[in-house]
Chains A and B, each alone.
Chain A
Amino acid sequence: MKKQIVSAAFGVAVLGAATAAGAATLDDVKAKGFVQCGVSQGLPGFSNPDAAGNWTGIDVDLCRGIAAAVFGDATKVKYTPLSAKERFTALQSGEVDVLSRNTTWTMSRDTQLGLNFAGVNYYDGQGFMVRKDLGVKSALELSGASVCTNTGTTTELNVADYFRANKMEYEIVAFEKADEVVAAYDAGRCDVYTTDQSGLYAQRLKLTNPADHVVLPEVISKEPLGPVVRQGDDQWFNIVKWTHFAMINAEELGITSANVDEMKNSDNPEVKRVLGTEGEFGTALGIGNDWAYNVIKQVGNYSEVFDRNVGPDTELAISRGVNALWSKGGLQYAPPIR
């Protein structure tokens, strides 16, 4: 028996993955008193620290939503900035509880890494950015160009596919950190910078002269970005998934952080179920029955989160587009809470 314990301990030491996989993440999170959230190393609009070290962004707000659902306090989150390369290992090994880091949902990631994608909080697609003075109008004119990108991303694979499919030559320069990619592009090492279109708009703000650069019209891939959890912990998977769905349902029902207290008196049974005045939906998740109320009150519904971080009034100025609600011609759709 003792031997087994010792050998298990060695196994854990060798592979951090061991403990994390089986144990209930919710219990761990409750025990330590905060949600450890894996985010990017700085992508405006998605997860970006300000000068004071406060994180903002659409991915950050999802983490805050989870904390609000679990603890009733959206501030109980700690952030771990991760490179594209590190992110899955950090989640697999239990270093973070949830990865909310503009990560594309693909089949191989879903099936081979021991991870589960808990929904899509931003529908994106890959694009290209070039200097205006090159006079390039379409991605199909890029034959012979040097392309800067992040290593270990779907972007790197998509660009290989795209240039091959269109029989164009190119030179790939793949850096580990997003900031290094931007710096190399800015320094003229590459002619083209490629990543998700939202990322292009966000990173353009970091260039010396943002106005000198233009995002080409082509979108060459589907990039559904969403939160990721470890496989095999369905309770935690459900909490993350339904935190996101609660925000979308709230938008659909017109519940905002401003009117959520009034809405508590609503006669609408759907609103009542969301806000926990009817039914035991939170209890079934293993958390408080006012989970969705806390999410909406402290973080807001999906449209508030979108507008605050990437919407038309922000520096990024991205319109809802495919990220509008299904009822308004977009793709954001949540199963009903009932």
Chain B
Amino acid sequence: MALTESASVDDKPKVALLNDPKIRGAIIQTILVIFLAWLVWSMVHNAAFNLAKAGIASGFGFLDRSAGFDVNFSPFLEFGQTSTNWDAYLVGLQNTLILAFIGVIFATIIGFIVGVARLSQNWVISKIAYWYVEILRNIPLLLQIFIWYKGVGAFLPDKRNPMDLGFLGQLNAAGLFAPKPVFADGAGVVGWALLAGIVITIFIGRWASARQMKTGERFPVFWTGLGLIVLLPVLSYFIMGMPISAEYPVTGNFGPRGGMQVIPEFIAMLLALSLYTAAFIAEIVRAGILAVNKGQSEASAALGLRRGPALRLVVVPQAMRVIIPPLTSQYLNLTKNSSLAVAIAYPDLTAMFAGTALNTVGQAVEILLMTMLTYLAISLLTSTFMNWYNKRMALVER
């Protein structure tokens, strides 16, 4: 019996349409899609219906209305009397991005240093790195934010007796009052000179490595580049008649005024976010380095490379392939965690738009939807970039 059945495998089995796996799959998927579409539609419909029934205003008209409140931290955008709720959204987004961007840079630098230090053969350094990781990643982030803001912040001097930091400005309970650069006519030339220095250095670097590949001769790219990047702007600065000056904070009735105020909420958020995330990055870096076969470092040692260059030229480039994917999720975590800023009055997107603006407008559904989509977009963009970078770093088979 069994033989005859298996012999007929090649024939098209005559089964009911419903039992054909392809058709059945298609039917189930169609039903699922229709069900999901209906689910989403009914949610939207119900929300709109119930909002209307409860007499709650809806729609996005509020974005054009005047916001009416103020903000104490907006490095690039203007926010004032005529600003709308849309401007409040932009300022909140700006503050979130600034915090996340600088936080990611700090966290990466600290994380790499600690991660490498953790593998150091120096017992003290590796123990310090070990305790750094264990302590920081095991204390809730919100608590760390409070520690930096309220704990460390309590030691900052009174507004009217600020700590003098010399050319860096003044530090007090209301933050860091740094000198603010003032650009006069001709300042643009200095900027272009700086850009030119960087571009020329990049070209020299390419040329030098091509030449080294060909002839084996090395060229002092670092010192040439440094000279170009520093000298060109400095020269043009003096040629243009010193167009950039600094506005130092002056002491007013209520402490320092003028200059560039970096509010303590920002500093606390930045420290907490980057130190916390750095602990996780350190572990990722350590894991990445350990994932590189021991033979690789032994081989580089056999070739006469010292520990530093061996790490830099052989081990880390291979470790990066292991490091980048989990690193991406740490970047995303840092960005999302920045919404904890609401706890200490840093005006980020959540605090300013999903907080203050939501309260004055009262349209929770629209505002929260916008805020969620914004975080989603930031996260998706970050991971797109990191995926691109990952592809570039991936092993290329030749």
Contact between A157 and B362 (Cβ–Cβ < 8 Å)? no
Q: Does B159 contact A (CB under 8 A)?
A: yes
Docked-complex contact A85 and B359, CB < 8 angstroms:
yes
When the two chains form their complex, are residues B356 and A144 in contact, meaning their CB atoms are under 8 A apart? no
Tell whether, in the assembled complex, residue A176 and residue B342 are in contact, meaning their CB atoms are under 8 Å apart.
yes
Contact A14 B47 (CB under 8 A): yes
Task: Choose one: B42, B46, B55; the contact of A18 (CB below 8 Å).
Answer: B46
- Interface size bracket, A side: 35 or more
- Alpha-carbon distance A176/B348, docked complex (angstroms): 13
Q: Is the CB of B174 within 8 A of A7?
A: no
Which of B56, B153, B359, B360 interacts with A187 by CB under 8 Å? Answer: B153
Q: Mark A160-174, 1 if CB is under 8 A from B, else 0.
A: 110010000011111
Given contacts A21-B54, A157-B68, contact A187 B150 (CB under 8 A): yes
A180 in contact with B70 given A8-B46, A10-B42, A232-B55 (CB within 8 Å):
no
Interface residues of B in 348-398 (CB under 8 A from A): 351, 355-356, 358-365
A258 to B185, CA, bound (A): 80
Shortest Cβ distance from residue B367 to the other chain A in the assembled complex, whole angstroms? 11
When distances are taken between beta carbons in the complex, the residues of chain A under 8 Å from B364 are 89
**CB < 8 Å neighbour of A191 from B38, B254, B263:** B254
Which residues of B are found within 8 Å of A109, using beta-carbon distances? 362
A188 at the interface (CB under 8 A from B): yes
Known: A114-B54, A183-B150. Is A188-B159 also a contact (CB below 8 A)? yes
Tell me if A175 is interfacial: C-beta within 8 Å of chain B: yes
How near does chain A come to B325, taking the closest CB pair, in angstroms? 34
* CB neighbours of B347 from chain A (8 A): 174
Q: Which of A10, A175, A189 has the most CB of B within 10 A?
A: A189
Interface: B154 (CB within 8 A):
yes
The distance from the CB of A82 to the nearest CB of chain B, in whole angstroms, is 12
Interface residue? A184 (CB, 8 A): yes
Identify which of B42, B150, B261, B263 gathers the most chain A CB atoms within 10 Å of its CB: B42
Measured between alpha carbons, how far is A180 from B265 in the docked complex, in Å? 13
In the complex, residue of chain B having the shortest beta-carbon distance to the beta carbon of A146:
B174
In the bound assembly, the distance between CA atoms of A144 and B355 in angstroms comes to 25
User: When the two chains form their complex, are residues B49 and A11 in contact, meaning their CB atoms are under 8 A apart?
Assistant: yes
| A232-B362 contact, Cβ under 8 Å, with A7-B42, A10-B46, A187-B154 | no
The answer for the CA separation of A144 and B259 in the assembled complex, in Å, is 13
Judge whether A128 is part of the interface by a CB distance below 8 angstroms: no
Q: Cβ of B174 and Cβ of A189 under 8 Å apart?
A: yes
| B53 sits at the interface (CB 8 A) | yes
B164 within 8 A of A: no
Q: How does the 8 Å CB contact mask read for A72-97 relative to B, with 1 for contact and 0 for none?
A: 00000000000011001100100000
> Is A112 close to B, CB under 8 A?
yes
Chain B: number of interface residues, binned into ranges:
35 or more
B42 touches A230 (CB 8 A): no
Are B356's CB and A156's CB within 8 A? yes
Q: Which residue of B lies closest to A188 (CB)?
A: B173
Contact of A112 among B56, B253, B355 (CB under 8 A): B56
Q: How many Å lie between the Cα of A175 and that of B54 in the bound state?
A: 29
Chain B residues with Cβ below 8 Å from A187 are 150, 153-154, 173
Instruction: Identify A174's interface contact among B38, B56, B356, CB under 8 A.
Output: B356
Asked if A22 is at the interface (CB within 8 A of a chain B CB), the reply is yes
B69 adjacent to A172 (CB under 8 Å): yes
**Is B345's CB within 8 Å of the partner chain A?**
yes
Residues of A near B362 (CB, < 8 A) are 88, 108-109, 112-113
Assembled-state Cα–Cα distance A187/B38 (Å): 54
Residues from chain B with a CB closer than 8 A to the CB of A14 are 43, 46-47
Chain A residues with CB under 8 Å of B360's CB are: 108, 152, 157
Residues of B within 8 A of A11 (CB): 42-43, 45-47, 49-50
Task: Write the nearest CB–CB distance from A95 to chain B, whole angstroms.
Answer: 13
Given A112-B362, A145-B254, A176-B355; A15-B150 close (CB under 8 Å)? no
Kindly identify which residue among A15, A170, A230 contacts B47, using a CB–CB cutoff of 8 Å. Answer: A15
Interface status of B306 (Cβ within 8 A of chain A)? no
Chain B residue nearest to A153 in the complex (CB):
B359
The distance from the CB of B78 to the nearest CB of chain A, in whole angstroms, is 14
Considering the complex, give the chain A residue whose CB is closest to the CB of B153.
A187
B39 within 8 A of A: yes
Closest to A18 in B: B50
Query: Residue A231 at the B interface, CB < 8 A?
Result: yes
A171 touches B356 (CB 8 A): no
User: Hey, which chain A residues are within 8 Å of B39, CB to CB?
Assistant: 10
Contact B345 A114 (CB under 8 A): no
Q: What residues make up the interface of A, taking CB atoms closer than 8 Å to B?
A: 7-8, 10-12, 14-15, 17-18, 20-22, 84-85, 88-89, 92, 108-109, 112-114, 134, 141-146, 151-153, 156-157, 159-161, 164, 170-176, 180, 183-184, 187-191, 230-232
Q: A10-B43, A89-B364 are in contact. List 20 more A-B contacts (CB 8 A).
A: A11-B49, A11-B50, A12-B46, A84-B359, A92-B54, A92-B56, A112-B56, A134-B253, A143-B253, A146-B72, A151-B356, A156-B69, A156-B356, A157-B68, A159-B70, A170-B70, A176-B345, A180-B345, A189-B174, A231-B55
Query: 15 A-B pairs, CB-CB below 8 angstroms?
Result: A14-B43, A14-B47, A15-B365, A17-B56, A21-B54, A88-B359, A89-B364, A151-B359, A156-B356, A171-B174, A174-B345, A174-B347, A176-B351, A189-B264, A191-B255
Residues of chain B whose beta carbon lies under 8 Å from any beta carbon of chain A: 38-39, 42-43, 45-47, 49-51, 53-57, 68-72, 81, 150, 153-154, 158-159, 173-174, 252-255, 257, 261, 263-265, 342-345, 347, 351, 355-356, 358-365
